[in-house]
């Protein structure tokens, strides 16, 4: 009997059993794995699913009671109860339903969440709502002129500077704040001003074209 068992243990499987016995981490027998590959039994690749920002888990509410955030939103005074660690982006989108402010990286890199805070462009994902203390916040809606588009928006449309449109609100607000400081910029200055706003569609050329057209007053605005 003993001789028969030893005989059956010979060959690749026996090698495998021996290596398993020695292996502390239980790694699979290399010879068996090679055999499977030759037979075409390659393990199925792991599937990855993209997780949209809205489905990502929210940051946990911090300890402490809710507080009142005071702001002037697109010209209208607001008082809203917020968590102490709630960002301005979360306040605008999740609490107030202002979806013209977009959510991207959530960490101050992409610029799609840009709003004007007292006239200056900021990433709203990096601003705590509780610290606003009555400051003026302008989103894309605040650019509306008598129910119509702002001339800079019209320039973007006319010059094909909008594709998916995800970056557009941040681009427009950043541009307008920049033109307040520098009304007659050249192309390089426009590019430099928009470097914190990422666009995955347009390649930026048409955006700069649109801003130049607006600066030239091509749409008959002041």
Q: How far is the CB of 192 from ligand FES (least distance, A)?
A: 18
The nearer residue to ligand FES, 83 or 102, going by C-beta atoms, is: 102
The nearer residue to ligand FES, 125 or 210, going by C-beta atoms, is: 125
Which pairing describes strands 135-138 and 114-117: parallel, antiparallel, or unpaired? antiparallel
Q: How far is the CB of 93 from ligand FES (least distance, A)?
A: 10
Q: How far is the CB of 201 from ligand FES (least distance, A)?
A: 3
Give the residue ranges of DSSP H helices in the chain. Answer: 2-8, 12-22, 30-38, 88-90, 151-158, 168-181, 187-193, 205-215
The nearer residue to ligand FES, 12 or 53, going by C-beta atoms, is: 53
The nearer residue to ligand FES, 27 or 109, going by C-beta atoms, is: 109
Q: How far is the CB of 203 from ligand FES (least distance, A)?
A: 9
Q: How far is the CB of 106 from ligand FES (least distance, A)?
A: 5
The SS3 assignment for 117 reads strand
The SS3 assignment for 145 reads strand
Q: How far is the CB of 209 from ligand FES (least distance, A)?
A: 14
Please give the torsion angle defined by the CA atoms of residues 136, 142, 146 and 151, in that order, rounded to the nearest 10 degrees: 120
The nearer residue to ligand FES, 69 or 199, going by C-beta atoms, is: 199
DSSP secondary structure letter of residue 42: P
The footprint of ligand FES (CB under 6 A) covers 103-106, 108-113, 123, 125, 162-167, 199-202
DSSP secondary structure letter of residue 44: P
The nearer residue to ligand FES, 111 or 151, going by C-beta atoms, is: 111
Please give the torsion angle defined by the CA atoms of residues 24, 30, 36 and 42, in that order, rounded to the nearest 10 degrees: 80
Q: How far apart are alpha carbons 10 and 7 in whole angstroms?
A: 6
Q: Which of 201, 219, 198, 222 is nearest to 210 (CA)?
A: 219
């Amino acid at each position: 009997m003993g001789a028969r068992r030893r005989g059956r243990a010979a060959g690749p499987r026996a090698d495998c059993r021996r290596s398993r016995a020695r292996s502390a981490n239980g790694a699979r027998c290399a010879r068996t794995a090679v055999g499977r590959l030759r037979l075409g039994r390659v393990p199925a690749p792991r599937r990855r699913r993209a997780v949209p920002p809205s489905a990502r888990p929210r940051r946990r509410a911090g300890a402490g009671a809710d507080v009142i955030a005071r702001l002037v939103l697109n010209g209208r005074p607001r008082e809203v109860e917020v968590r102490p660690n709630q960002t301005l982006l979360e306040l605008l989108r999740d609490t107030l339903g202002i979806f013209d402010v977009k959510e991207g990286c959530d960490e101050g890199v992409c610029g799609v969440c840009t709003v004007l805070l007292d006239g200056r462009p900021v990433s709203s994902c990096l601003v705590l709502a509780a610290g606003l203390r009555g400051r003026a916040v302008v989103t894309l809606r605040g650019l509306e002129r008598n129910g119509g588009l702002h001339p800079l928006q019209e320039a973007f449309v006319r010059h094909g500077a909008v594709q998916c449109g995800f970056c557009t609100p941040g681009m427009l607000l950043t541009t307008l704040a920049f033109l307040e400081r520098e009304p007659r910029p050249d192309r390089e200055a426009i590019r430099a001003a928009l470097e914190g706003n990422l666009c995955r569609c347009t390649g930026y050329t048409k955006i700069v074209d649109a801003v130049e057209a607006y600066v030239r007053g091509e749409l008959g605005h002041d």
